[in-house]
Structure 1
Amino acid sequence: MDFAFDARTEELRARLLAFMDAHVYPAERVAEEQRAELASPWDVPPVVEELKAEARRQGLWNLFLPDEEYGAGLTNLQYAPLAEITGRSPQLAPTALNCSAPDTGNMEVLAAFGSDEQRKQWLEPLLAGEIRSAFAMTEPEVASSDATNIETRIDRDGDTYVVNGRKWYISGALHPDCRVFIVMGKTDPDGPDIRRQQSMVLVPRDTPGVEIRRPMRVYGYEDHYHGGHAEVVFHDVRVPVANLIGEEGGGFAIAQARLGPGRIHHCMRLIGMAERAVELMCRRAVSRTAFGKPLAAQGQVQAWIADARVAIEQLRLLVLKTAWLMDTVGNKGAHTEIQAIKIATPRTVVDIVDRAVQLHGAAGVSQDFPLAELWAAARTLRLADGPDEVHQRSLARREIRAYARG
């Protein structure tokens, strides 16, 4: 593995860093000021659309999609350092580049598994940033960390499917531009193979029977810029059979294909969050004095900053290795590394951001700095796309298997 970024990555990194400095960071405070004037908490501050237009003008658009027909054609290894940069402003930067979840995963699903008609109706406007989408998988009544537990039903009735079920923490569902859900449910609940019982269907948001019951908070935050997280109930929702993605029984496999790239995207953005936290720590440390000397001269503060730098460099190397393996041997061949980064990265970044909060004192938990929101986002990612314990269980079983056979 070559540790140097190639020429295209370096060129895009330079352009993206300049875009962040000139447009994204200045827009953070503007967006908050504009949001206070909006009629609905889910409406989009005008500055966000301005950022999207500028990013598209500069060619910083759909960088996440490796398929050149739809996206920038970057490999995982090329995209990883770009995703890290966007993580420094996780509310605005991914959205500005049309690289924010859940739309990224949904676009990947449609590009890989969607029919020509589905791509025309939904993928094209998503790629253009004209609409938003949501992914409805998690359910409150079952342990959704085991996807085979999903209880939502997708029953065939002639030339339609009828969807009934209750989902929650459905990201993006409250966004005013959300137009479609990808819904996972069971089409064959009694089938002998528990990983072939599930399917995925496209459900337009305005379909009769779709009820947005309530917004869900994340550590008190509503995640406005990404369209929030909602509890959604499907009451006898009818969609055409043509809205099936892939084949009946393919839902579990599609979910796994969707989550692999999503996990590495999350982990690279998390490293960007950690870099932002370290920058804020250093700025605070050199500007504040306590007990007769700058915080930067305090041994404990120096240890926090040094440990954070070591941890970030370790995480980045592991994530870049994972990206390289995904490109060279595929997601299945990189399974161990994908799980390793999903375990290590959120846990470590939570610790780094927590120390940054501590260094800032009361300001660290205030709205004047992004640290509290960064902490909430990082802590949530210990649950999203599979909790730590699920990945630990799977990774440990793979490690032990060879010895059990021996």
Structure 2
Amino acid sequence: MTGITLVKTARSAEIAARVEAFVRNVVVPYERDPRRDAHGPTDELVAELRAKAREAGVLTPHILPDGSHLTQLETAAVLKRAGLSPLGPVAVNVAAPDEGNMYLLGAIGTPPQKDRFLAPLVAGKARSAFFMTEPAADNGAGSDPSMLQTTAIRDGDDWVINGRKAFITGADGASVGIVMARTGLPDAVKSTMFLFDLPNPAVRIERVLDTIDSSMPGGHSIVRIDGLRVPAGQVLGEVDEGFRYAQVRLSPARLSHCMRWHGAATRAQEIAVSYACRRKAFGKLLIDHEGVGFMLADNQIDLQQADLMIDWCAAVLDSGSLGTLESSMAKSAVSEALFRVADRCVQVMGGTGVSGDTVVEQIFRELRAFRIYDGPTEVHKWSIAKRIKRAHMDAEQGDRS
């Protein structure tokens, strides 16, 4: 897409500066706080951090007091700073999946739905979960939402939902749920989104998965939904339009991941540079050895390119486009670049890099997972390739006609 103008604002610069100061000065010391399990920080730690963010005036900084949302380009400036610590997005309430769910509810929720489900999320008093992905063992939906197996059947004024979901981030401890289920049965494969309260006896966590990442409260769960009854007033958007609404959420959510993890990779680079400028080997500082200095130079290049890619895609979304192609390009390029950065940081720091003595080891793990979450790189490239083929075929058809 051409003709995109990048417009950053004074308000976003000011908010971003306050968020960065809070993360560096208040949040970073909590990185060694023991209140965490194998899956992420405990709700007690989250509540304490959010109380401090609220006091500092940086809680949910991308949503303004009047309820309006920063532009995507402005949001990028803020979320990059929030990501300087793995705890930063959780602390200031811009973490996944809540940030994406707030965006979706703000875009298509009714006023009563916003009062009941969105307001507690914006206030940082509740967590949410987005129930879309399904277990591979059930031949359910993953990167291909058309494989959706979970069903929603009308029963009077209600809908009854049944199915299993997988890798549901934050389901353990969430208060707000958004579930995507098949509707239009039996004739068509359509989907609808539904809002519901948690906990609910019809929604049972089978297990919380052990995964490589450890920054998200509640971890990632396998969930069984058995007879979940949802009133018609809790349909999110229109019936049978779930696939369309998923695109409303997914493009900005992909990009938000890029924003947050850009901050994390930037922090890893800072730590690796500091280490290389202090540690000596073979008579000189590590950074003066080309093998090390060039890795750090490559990191700086990757970070700059990723930064520009994020801002370009944000501007596309701000233009009013769904940005499906552009967000796939950004997600693929940025996740791979940031993982290279983290990998080189570990390599530069040697034994220290693979230890828990710094946060670099965790950032490396988180960025490895990021190459899969919100669509693996290969799926995004496949989607881009389909667009390339379609454009070529259309051009050839036009030449013949």
TM-score, normalised via structure 1 length: 0.89
The one-character-per-residue Cα deviations of 1:79-126 (angstroms, maximum 9, x if unpaired) are 112111111112x21122111111111112222222222212111111
Change (3 A) 1:293 1:4: farther
Q: Does 1:331 align with 2:321?
A: yes
2: CA distance, partners of 1:9 / 1:240: 39
1:279-331 deviations in Å (ceiling 9; x for gaps): 11111112222233321121110110001111111111121111112112x23
Q: Give the corresponding residue for 2:261.
A: 270
Name the CA distance, whole Å, in 2 between partners of 1:335 and 1:252. Answer: 13
Q: Is the 8 A contact 1:215 1:222 kept in 2?
A: no
Question: Counterpart of 2:376?
Answer: 387
8 Å contact from structure 1 (residues 304, 355) kept in 2: yes
Give the aligned partner of residue 95 of structure 1. 90
Tell me the alpha carbon deviations over residues 150-183 of structure 1, each in whole angstroms, 9 at most, x when there is no partner.
10111111122111111111101113xx112111
The Cα offsets for residues 128-157 of structure 1, whole Å up to 9 and x where unpaired, read as 111111111111133511001010111111
Task: Letter of the 1:244 partner, please give it.
Answer: V
Equivalences for 1:243-262 in 2 at 5 Å?
243-262=234-253
The partner residue of 2:13 within 10, 33, 36 is 10
For residue 220 of structure 2, what is the amino acid of its counterpart? Answer: H
Name which of 289, 292, 301 aligns with 1:310: 301
CA distance in 2, matches of 1:127, 1:183: 19
Residue matched to 1:186: 182
Residue of structure 2 aligned with 1:301, choices 274, 283, 292: 292
Tell me which of 100, 110, 114 is aligned to 2:109: 114
Secondary structure at the counterpart of residue 277 of structure 2: helix
Partner of 1:228: 219
User: 1:38-187 residue pairs with structure 2 within 5 A?
Assistant: 43-46=42-45, 48-65=46-63, 69-71=66-68, 73-90=69-86, 92-140=87-135, 141=138, 142-175=140-173, 178-187=174-183
- Kindly indicate whether the alpha-carbon contact (under 8 Å) linking 2:132 and 2:141 is maintained by their aligned counterparts in 1: no
Going from structure 1 to structure 2, the CA distance change for 1:50 and 1:331 (only over 3 Å counts) comes to same
Unaligned stretches of 5+ residues in structure 1: none
How far did 1:222 drift? 4.5
User: Are 2:262 and 2:303, in contact at CA under 8 Å, matched by a contact in 1?
Assistant: yes
Displacement of 1:252 in angstroms is 0.8
Counterpart in 1 of 2:311? 320
**1:68, distance to aligned residue in structure 2 (A):** 6.5
Write out per-residue CA displacement over residues 168-220 of structure 1, whole angstroms, 9 at most, x where no aligned residue: 11101113xx112111110124344x4xx11111232232221111111222x
Is 1:350 matched with 2:339?
yes
Residues 251 and 69 (structure 1), Cα distance of their counterparts in 2 relative to 1, 3 Å cut? farther
Aligned counterparts of 1:127 and 1:245: Cα–Cα separation in 2:
18
The corresponding residue for 1:213 is 206
Task: Report SS of the residue matched to 1:183.
Answer: strand
8 Å CA contact 2:214–2:366 kept in 1: the answer is: no
**Residue 23 (structure 1) aligns with:** 26
SS at match of 2:62: coil
SS at match of 1:378: helix
What's the secondary structure of 1:105's corresponding residue? helix
Deviations 1:63-88 (A, max 9, x none): 334x77425x3111111121111111
Separation in 2 of the partners of 1:277 and 1:232? 34
Distance 1:180 1:21, change over 3 A: closer
* Letter aligned with residue 75 of structure 2: Y
The answer on whether the counterparts of 2:129 and 2:176 sit within 8 Å (CA) in structure 1 is: yes
Cα distance in 1 for partners of 2:107, 2:195 equals 15
Match of 2:193 in 1: 200
Residue in structure 1 matched with residue 351 of structure 2 by the alignment: 362
Name which structure has the greater RCO, CA cutoff 8 Å, separation 6+: 2
Where do 5+ consecutive residues of structure 2 fail to align?
397-401
- TM-score of the superposition, structure 2-length normalised? 0.90
CA RMSD, aligned part only? 2.2
